[in-house]
């Protein structure tokens, strides 16, 4: 199997990710003490973050997933958010925490928050591992975030470029030559 290391520069290492996720989980546990919580992971990118986060939370926490798609094979958002998978569970009257891998333009999150609010949860908050404010196009507040990152296209730890690199255990910046070669 091809080793991608030579074209990807590490931005956030595995240990740093794990340390910050534990801190986030402690904060979330404190805030939701005594309340039932439903985590909603946004597929596909959030699967790794959600898996690590939920293992640090109370074992009674429920989980469901929504799928969205807006980047395709590009490093730029198409601007159109499509739902590829809806929830199985109802969110009505429940405490919901939306779990994202990255907020970039903010269009995906804006769309999801509006969609979920209309279903009348008791509360709705957002937790994103990575916040890239430089390219924001939609106004959206984050209740919890892991890291603020610079304006670069990142891969790994669930995030892809043309469906590759999701399995990297760290977050790295994809070098420009690599993007141009394959675009």
100 lies in the site for ligand PRP, by CB under 6 A? yes
- Sequence-distant (6+) residues with CB within 8 A of 59 are none
- Rounded Cα gap, residues 24 and 29, in angstroms: 9
Residue number with CB closer to ligand 7HP (66 or 91) = 66
- Rounded Cα gap, residues 20 and 18, in angstroms: 6
Residues 47-66 that bind ligand PRP (CB under 6 A): none
- Rounded Cα gap, residues 183 and 73, in angstroms: 8
70 lies in the site for ligand PRP, by CB under 6 A? yes
Residue listed under structure tokens 């907020």? 103
Minimum distance from residue 39 beta carbon to ligand 7HP (Å) = 20
Residue number with CB closer to ligand PRP (120 or 153) = 153
Out of 28, 65, 68, 144, the residue judged to bind ligand PRP by CB under 6 A: 68
- Sequence-distant (6+) residues with CB within 8 A of 139 are 106, 110
Cβ proximity of 124 and 98 under 8 Å? yes
Residues 132-171 that bind ligand PRP (CB under 6 A): 160
**Binding partner at 108 among ligand 7HP, ligand PRP, none, C-beta below 5 to 8 Å by kind:** ligand PRP
Out of 108, 126, 161, 172, the residue judged to bind ligand PRP by CB under 6 A: 108
Clarify whether 104 is annotated catalytic: yes
Give the binding site for ligand PRP (CB under 6 A). Answer: 42-45, 68-71, 77, 100-109, 160
């Amino acid at each position: 199997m091809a080793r991608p290391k030579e074209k990807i520069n590490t931005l956030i290492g595995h240990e740093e990710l794990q340390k910050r996720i534990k801190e986030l989980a402690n904060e979330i546990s404190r805030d939701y003490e005594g309340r039932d919580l439903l985590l909603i992971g946004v597929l596909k990118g959030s699967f790794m973050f959600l898996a690590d986060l939920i293992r640090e939370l109370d074992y009674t926490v429920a989980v469901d997933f929504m799928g969205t798609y807006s980047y395709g094979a590009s490093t730029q958002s198409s601007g159109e958010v499509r739902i590829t998978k809806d929830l199985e569970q109802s969110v009505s009257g429940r405490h919901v925490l939306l779990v994202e891998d990255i907020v970039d333009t903010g269009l995906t999150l804006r769309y999801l928050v509006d969609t979920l609010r209309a279903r009348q949860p008791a509360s709705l908050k957002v937790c994103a591992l990575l916040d890239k404010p430089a390219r924001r196009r939609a106004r959206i507040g984050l209740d919890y975030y892991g890291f603020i990152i610079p304006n670069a296209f990142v891969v790994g730890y669930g995030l892809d470029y043309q469906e590759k690199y999701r399995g990297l255990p760290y977050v790295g910046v994809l070098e420009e030559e690599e993007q141009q070669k394959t675009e």
